[in-house]
Structure 1
Amino acid sequence: MGSARPFDRPLHRRTVLRGAAALAAAGFAGEAFTLPAAAATIPAPPSFPAGIELYQQAYVNWSGEIDLADVWTCAPATPADVVTVANWARANGYRVRPKGMSHGWAPTLLPAGADVTKVVLVDLTKHLRGISVGSGRVTVQAGATIDQLTVALENAGYGLAALTAPGNLTVGGVLAIGAHGSAVPANGETRIPGTSYGTLSNLVLSLTVVAWDATAGAYVLKTYTRTQPQIAAFLVHLGRAFVVSAVLQVGANTRLRCQSFYDIPTATLFAAPGTSGRTIESYLARSGRIEAIWFPFTDRPWLKVWTIAPSKPVLSRSVSAPYAYTFANFLSEEQSDFLSRIVAGDTSGTPAFENFQISVVGSGLIVTGTWDIWGWSKNLLLYVQPTTLRIVEAGYAVLTSRANVQRVIHEFYVRYQARISAYQAQGKFPMNGPVEIRVTGVDTPADVSGGGVSPQLSAARPRPDRPDWNAVVWLDMGTIPGTPDADSFYAEMESWIVANYSGDYATVRPEWSKAWAVTPAGAWTDTAALTGRIPAALRAGQPAGDNWDTARATLNAADPHRIFSNTFLDTLLP
């Protein structure tokens, strides 16, 4: 393990907990409080371009662990305005960070404790959110949200095979980190043209970015198509580039049925490979789309199974809008009380709280009549709203063969269960949020209309040397930010995950939006992983001229002045 990161200030546990508790209790959503330039608390950016709105605004990430007050922020009205801001930043020694909905954990936009005196956030959500649907494709600006995009697509008869659970994410943010849903082909299923079983980045046909032009001696707009080698670095760029718009391929919309189960024993669902009965594998074979949510110290997960269903099943309830699981999108009195106890340093109530959580799922599904619902794809796939309890999650992408998915899940379950039991024996309860498991395909260019290159930095990038590794198991472990012993637990689990899923069996990449490179000092503090193991994982099995190093060179050439970077990215992608 490496040493603590040198590029931000450490977070005190009580500070994080109080902030997270307040954030969750308030159901924090929407735009942060803004200050006009006249009320500035730090010096205004000098000679900022006239006509582009400028103000100060707090930046708070999803879990509240990154909380920066009064960051200078601008709201460009056009892509040309973004170019103007970029050239101003270069001339004045500033850095520019594209701001979306702030639904993320990793410090790819700004690290905790960052010095923001020479940083300007560029809020894309105010003006750069245009959407134009064409035949089998959609042109969308980076500030449009997944909610807005899916409404426009549905109105035109299109949809996506898989979606992120929250819809309050910008397209720019989703593409930057290679966000994903949960889908592999069921037995006998044929992929709908225009869709992909990989990440949403694999839908890209072209990107328009702000990039340096050596001839012009300035930043300009450049458009790259999916068949151009350079685009491979921008498809998933981790915040090291500035994408202003994308053209995505889309397929015919489908109606889905989503069935929720909370009566399957954990040991059955996550059983050893080859076990008969109600295993994850059995549901994947039948439907191809699952998500398992398992609260520690409980013996019944919440399993969601989506099945393509052109006609409404007799027992299903029709829904015409997303976010059906209203019981999961507010902070209950019990949750608020538990947060208060955690702030006070008392985690002993964790097992009881986790059993309360799964009981809420069971009763909520019954009360809302949502245990079996049917409708257009977005109305079934979008279910996480900003009012849900804010937790932190460590996330890992295990690339393996479709045949080994049940094995991956079983081994993880056994290890996780053993470690939380070992901690419990010591009177420690580091995990009080759910384990979330999803399964996708890989970002194969074969899914792309007209072919093209694969995303060089995608956690779901296929390995040319291992064509049998055609699935990704996404393993997420959640807890309330600042919970005692959480970082030590995460560090142990990460070390085991990386060691276990290796060799001829599988490999591991970070789920970029989540916590990773964890040591007992916190997430993203393992400098050996940041500078060694993680880049190596994105080099392995790839051609010498088409890997992590190629992506870094492309991004550096597009931004040689590093105005689209921060101190964390300077370490990860120097």
Structure 2
Amino acid sequence: MTDGSSNRGGGLSRRRLLASSAVAGGAGWLLRGLVGPDSAHAASAPPPGFPAGVDVHQRVYENWVGEIRTDQLWTCAPRSPQEVLDVVNWAHGAGWTVRAQGRRHGWSPLTVADGTPAAARVVLLDTTAHLTAMSLEQQAGDGSAAVRVQAGASLETLLAFAGAGGYGVTAAPAPGDLSVGGALAVGAHGTALPAAGESPSPGHGYGSLSNLVTELTAVVWDAGVGRYVLRTVGRAEPDCDALLTHLGRSLVTEAVLRVGTDHNLRCQSFVDIPATELFAAPGASAGTRTLAGFVDRTGRVEAIWFAFTDHPWLKVWSVAPTRPAASRAVDGPYNYPFSDSLPEPVARLAGDLVSGAWASAPLFGQVQALLAKVALTGDISDVLLSGTLVRDVLTGDVLTHLLAGGLRSDLWGASRNLLQYIRPTTLRETANGYAVLTRRADLQWVVSQFADFYRTLLAQYAARGEYPVNGQVEIRVTGLEEPSVCGVPGARPPLLSAVRPRPDRPDVDTAVWIDVLSLPATPALNRFYRDIEQFLLTLDGDRATVRAEWSKGWAYTDTAAWADPDVLTRHIPDSQRAGGGPGWDEAVATLDRLDPHRVLSSPFLDTLLR
């Protein structure tokens, strides 16, 4: 990450860009210039010998939150897998590298690093323009099916396509604007464990989306012909386990995913449970409203805990074939408009934050929590009892607008309509991310340990006049990768998945995903993230294994993410090696063999995957 006041190229500074986007209600980043090769504004001529007929232009790469931003890089949009091959083989001969680009909805520098200059001999390959086809391949007698999908299709489109045929997945990431190829590359996940007594139906599992893959097609080196070729690899074949979650070290053009009969879900929201109860230490709470208790009852939970507040927003999903009388039926995704697009006074407060009013973080956290409570439950009593500053933001007009949309604390519908709830217009925050692997019996211990440390650390920073967190903690819980879910005998789990099981610990069956979100460029944020990371690493031992969530932030120094050499080169590989069996080293060796010329790599990946 770079300083928030940078103003590369004479454009808007990141801080000003953040502020303007926030005031616009999270309307998204300004798109940087798209420059064609024949434009008078092109910085240089197209790369010599670039394949004829493949659209190529210059464009700034900017990720979801704007922390990774490059100079104008050559970017192409192949219309077919063959054109992908043409570009890769050209790059091999010309001494360039190729980086697959999806929808840029990620935080980590797995595609390109921040500040990559225009002189870099790298071409971005945009899969989203044309490589978006999908088809229903087969329907099995057990109620499952297979969907063939190209890498550039969006996750929203894939789930809608499957849903139209009566199929779905148990869990999926909340954003719909992820490319399928990008989601598979990082082992994207949702939140789900089996409820007590629940058995998954065929095609459904509790790990990452990568674990649903039955076969994939990737660009690999063929020494016999001296070229890169497309190779289709079945799930039980050698090399597939390394390609399933490849972190951008390969280029997958197409995959086949197994899906199951769709299940209608009910999603209930609770905003009345104190954090001290929800995240209580095991045995410390007299009530039953602990996170582990909800997981036991329904299997599917997410806690959203706004900074400097006492009552998280807890979402609880349950399988519900028919609509419960108290539930509101929904017929599409993205059913929390109050978080999709912030009301203007709230967005203005976010703009004030990124303009330098960082001490407003406690107020912003309180406003966000009350915003959710009013929109979900219709209860405005806490707003009326709040201080003047809160009421200046949550005005009568804002409350009227929130209530006019109807209450949303109890929703029911097809799975994708309840699983996808983050639009591109959502306020864009940075995030760290970790998966803590543990026994299900220790789930509550993990969240209580984290919550106690986080609460204390936040207070310590505030006592020094520092407010690094102005967003929220998000906690999700999933199972680990179970290869049999894909339905292919002999399948192995994705080798680089954050939730690959430990062969030596069959009792470890649960992953607690912990993210802390805040607006980029917040002072002391990287130092705070480092404190969180170092604390989580102390949990490593008999009760926990801590792994990086690939799409998010990790390996923190006091000033930057993805920069601590000890975490990058020692802890991350060791966390994947824990328990023995095929894993980190086997995956790295396979990916190197499939791309020995490192055409599909980057300086950052060369450091990480060595």
- 1:384-399 alignment, distance < 5 Å: 384-399=422-437
Give the conservation status (yes or no) of the 8 Å contact 1:17–1:483.
no
Query: How many Å separate the matches in 2 of 1:76 and 1:225?
Result: 25
Equivalent residue number for residue 521 of structure 2:
482
Distance 1:282 1:321 in 2: 29
Give the length in aligned residue pairs.
562
Distance 1:23 1:98, change over 3 A: farther
- C-alpha displacement at 1:369, in angstroms? 1.9
1:344-493 residue pairs with structure 2 within 5 A?
344-365=355-376, 366=378, 367=403, 368-451=406-489, 452-493=491-532
CA gap of 1:25–1:101, structure 2 versus 1, over 3 A, is: farther
- The correspondence for 1:121, drawn from 107, 124, 128, is 124
User: For 2:19, which of 13, 21, 29 is the aligned residue?
Assistant: 21
Q: Tell me, yes or no, if structure 1 residue 239 matches structure 2 residue 248.
A: yes
Conservation of the 8 A alpha-carbon contact between 2:217 and 2:252 = yes
Is the Cα–Cα contact under 8 Å of residues 333 and 417 in structure 2 kept in the other structure?
A: yes
Shift of 1:33: 4.2
Q: Does 1:558 align with 2:594?
A: yes
Question: 2:302 matched to which residue of 1?
Answer: 291
Task: Look up the equivalent residue of 2:34 and give its one-letter code.
Answer: T
- Comparing 370-379 with 268-277, greater Cα deviation is found at 268-277
Deviations 1:466-505 (A, max 9, x none): 00110000000011001001011100110010112x2110
1:193 has 2:202 as partner: yes
Structure 2 distance, partners of 1:148, 1:279, is: 35
Cα 1:281–1:547, aligned 2, differ >3 Å: closer, same or farther?
same
Alignment counterpart, residue 182 of structure 1, candidates 178, 188, 191: 191
Distance in 1 between the 2:82 and 2:297 partners? 49
Distance 1:269 1:476, change over 3 A: same
| Counterpart pick for 2:320 among 309, 314, 324 | 309
Is the Cα contact below 8 Å between 1:58 and 1:67 reproduced in 2?
yes
- Once the two structures are superposed, residues 101-157 of structure 1 have per-residue CA deviations (whole angstroms, 9 ceiling, x without a partner) of 100000000110113431111111111001111311110000000111011101111
Gaps of at least 5 residues in structure 1 are: 1-9
Residue 94 (str. 1) matches residue 96 (str. 2):
yes
**Aligned partner of 2:407: which letter?**
G
The amino acid of 1:177's aligned partner reads V
What is the letter of the counterpart of residue 461 of structure 2? Y
Residue 72 of structure 2 is matched in structure 1 by 70
- Partner letter of residue 38 of structure 1? D
Q: Hey, what does 1:156 align to over in structure 2?
A: 165
How far, CA to CA, are the matches of 2:410 and 2:230 in structure 1?
47
TM-score normalised to structure 1 length: 0.96
CA distance in 2, matches of 1:341, 1:481: 13
How big is each residue's C-alpha offset from its partner over 1:507-566, in whole Å with a ceiling of 9 and x where there is no partner?
1000000000011021101011111110111111122xx121111111111111111111
Question: 406-415 vs 267-276, which deviates more?
Answer: 267-276
Matches for 1:160-175 after TM superposition, within 5 Å: 160-175=169-184
- CA 1:563/1:477 → structure 2, altered by over 3 Å: closer, same or farther? same
Q: Is residue 18–residue 351 contact of structure 2 (8 Å, CA) maintained in 1?
A: no
Q: Is the 8 A contact 2:346 2:367 kept in 1?
A: no
Does the Cα contact within 8 Å between 2:16 and 2:355 map onto a contact in 1?
Answer: no
RMSD: 1.4
Letter matched to residue 298 of structure 1? T
Tell me, which stretches of 5 or more residues in structure 2 are unaligned? Answer: 7-13, 140-144, 379-402
Which residue of structure 2 aligns with residue 45 of structure 1?
47
Q: Which amino acid aligns with 1:390?
A: R
- TM-superposition CA deviations, 1:34-88 (whole Å, max 9, x none): 2211122234211111111111222110110112242211111110110110000
State the secondary structure of the residue aligned to 2:253.
strand
Distance in 2 (CA, whole Å) between partners of 1:351 and 1:163 is: 31
- Deviation string 1:264-316 (CA, Å, 9 cap, x unpaired) is 11111111113332111111111100000001110110000000000100010
- In 2: Cα distance, 1:497 partner to 1:193 partner: 35
Q: 1:29 to 1:125 in 2, by over 3 A?
A: farther
3-state DSSP of counterpart to 1:496 = helix
Corresponding residue SS for 1:37: coil
The amino acid across from 1:228 in the alignment is E
SS of the aligned residue for 2:431 comes to strand
Q: What letter matches 2:245 in structure 1? A: V
The answer to whether the 8 Å contact 1:397/1:474 transfers is yes
The question of whether the paired residues in 1 share the 8 Å contact of 2:262 and 2:414 is answered with yes
SS of the equivalent of 1:250 reads strand
Relative distance call for 1:347 and 1:573 in structure 2 (3 A) is: same
Q: 1:549 to 1:309 in 2, by over 3 A?
A: same
